[in-house]
Structures are given as structure tokens and as C-alpha cells.
Amino acid sequence: MQFFFGAFLSDLSQHPPHIAWCQVREWPSSVLSPILIFIGLLLASYPEDKAEWVPWSRVMGKAAVYIFPKDCETPRYYSGIGLELIALGIHFSPPVKNVLSSKYLLWFGKNSFAVYLLHGALLRSVMVWMYFGISIPPDIIHEDGKLEPGPPLRICGRFRFWFWMPIWFVMLYSIANLWTKHVDSWCGRITEKFCKYVFEEPQRQQPPKQELDQEKGRLLPQ
């Protein structure tokens, strides 16, 4: 769904009649765009679990039965449609495009794929050490030799939680930036070489020099 919508929006943004239509009208930017972005944010905010706890998500959950296929992952569908509406709202709003085109946001966007690749590993390692410590309670050994797991880990307090959170994000984006600069570029070079090896036509091998001399001898006048 996201792929086809992205291809459609890419073609639409370069379609001359559509561009001319948007340039002579102000209401798509001032009216349509805020409505699309607001509805998109609402749909994309559908919770992954416990949607029945609040009225707005409860209504969305009931409506999903009539909108989406049976036994589907409703949060994913709502998130997808919400993101598409947000993208469409951005498409109709030049001011929002200008804001999102700042060099700082473009830097975050450039590193977003690396963040997607790395955040899970850093969550399960560095962030766990920050919030739960680097040691675990020892197992309990009873008199009969039975082994029982130790007490569960306890998360840190609020001060420590908010102290480490920005530090972890700085660490995450710093590592992602290094990944984008070095690992992605290296993978791109390897992929380019492999594509050339697979798709380019092999050059015709020249015959040995002895065969060339013999061929010339046959062609020269006697």
C-alpha cells in the first residue's frame, strides 16, 4: 500500500496540469492540507494495544471491522492510511514543504534508515544497561538444590530515566551518521561493482598474438 501510494504521489507531484492547478488556488494549502494532516495524525495515533480504553480509539476499532479485511493488524492499517494522508497534506502545502526542507531535518531524514537498522540493537543493549544496570540479581539456590531465578530487574527512577534518554538519542544518531557515511557508501560501491559484473556485456577477448600474425600472413599479398 505504501509503495503504490508513494509512486502515485511522486508522479502526481511532477504532473504539469496538477502543478498548474495547485499554483492558481490557495485553498488546498490553507484548508485541505491542515485537514488532511490532522486526520492523518489522528488515524496514525491508533494505539497498538488497549484501543478500548479511550472513546476515540474505541470508535475507530469498531469502524475497522467494516473498513479493513478480517483478522488483520488494525494498527498497521490505520498507521499506513494516516501516513498517506499526512504525506498528501504536505504535498498540498508549500510552507510545510519549506519547513521540512531545512538542513537539520534533512540530516535526520538522511540518517533515518540507519536509525531503523540500529535502534533495536542499541535498545536491547545500551539502553537496558542505562536503565536497569549492568548486573542481574543472582539465582536463588534452595536447600534441596532447586534453582529459582532471582528477583526481576527494576527500572530506574524518573530522574535517571530522563537524564539518560537524550544521551541515548545522541549516541543513536551519532552511530547512525557514521553508518550512513561509511557502511552505506561501502555497500553502495560493492553493489555497483556487482551490478556491473552481472549486467554489463563481457568484452570480447583478443586472440593470441601468434594467431593474429598468421591471419595477417594470409591476408598479405604473395
Residue 179 Cα distances to 12, 23, 114, 186, angstroms:
33, 40, 6, 10
Element (H, E) at 149: none
- Residue 152: CB atoms within 10 A of its CB come to 8
- The answer to whether residues 61 and 90 belong to one domain is yes
- The answer to whether residues 123 and 44 belong to one domain is no
- The answer to whether residues 76 and 130 belong to one domain is no
- 94 within domain boundaries: yes
- 145 within domain boundaries: no
Per the model's pLDDT, the better-predicted residue between 88 and 2 turns out to be: 88
With a cut of 70, say whether residue 147 has pLDDT above it: yes
Domain that holds residue 46: 2-101
Q: For 176, phi and psi rounded to 5 degrees?
A: -65, -40
With a cut of 70, say whether residue 202 has pLDDT above it: no
- 220 within domain boundaries: no
With a cut of 80, say whether residue 10 has pLDDT above it: yes
- The answer to whether residues 96 and 119 belong to one domain is no
Instruction: Average the pLDDT over 197-204 and give the result.
Output: 70
Q: For the segment 81-140, what is each residue's pLDDT rounded down to a tens digit?
A: 999 999 999 999 989 989 988 999 999 999 999 999 999 999 999 999 999 888 777 777
- 211 within domain boundaries: no
Instruction: Average the pLDDT over 144-148 and give the result.
Output: 75
With a cut of 60, say whether residue 29 has pLDDT above it: yes
Q: Tell me the pTM.
A: 0.64
Give the pLDDT score at 120: 93
- The answer to whether residues 22 and 75 belong to one domain is yes
- The answer to whether residues 80 and 126 belong to one domain is no
- The answer to whether residues 97 and 15 belong to one domain is yes
Please count the structural domains in the chain.
2
- 212 within domain boundaries: no
Give the pLDDT score at 212: 53
- 215 within domain boundaries: no
- The answer to whether residues 7 and 95 belong to one domain is yes
In the chain, which ranges are continuous DSSP H helix?
Answer: 2-13, 16-23, 27, 33-44, 55-67, 74-91, 94-100, 103-110, 112-122, 128-132, 158-178, 184-199, 209-219
Instruction: Answer with the one of 101, 122, 143 that is the final residue of a domain.
Output: 101
- The answer to whether residues 7 and 60 belong to one domain is yes
User: Helix (H, G, I), strand (E, B), or coil: what is residue 147?
Assistant: strand
- The answer to whether residues 122 and 176 belong to one domain is yes
- The answer to whether residues 44 and 130 belong to one domain is no
- The answer to whether residues 188 and 125 belong to one domain is yes
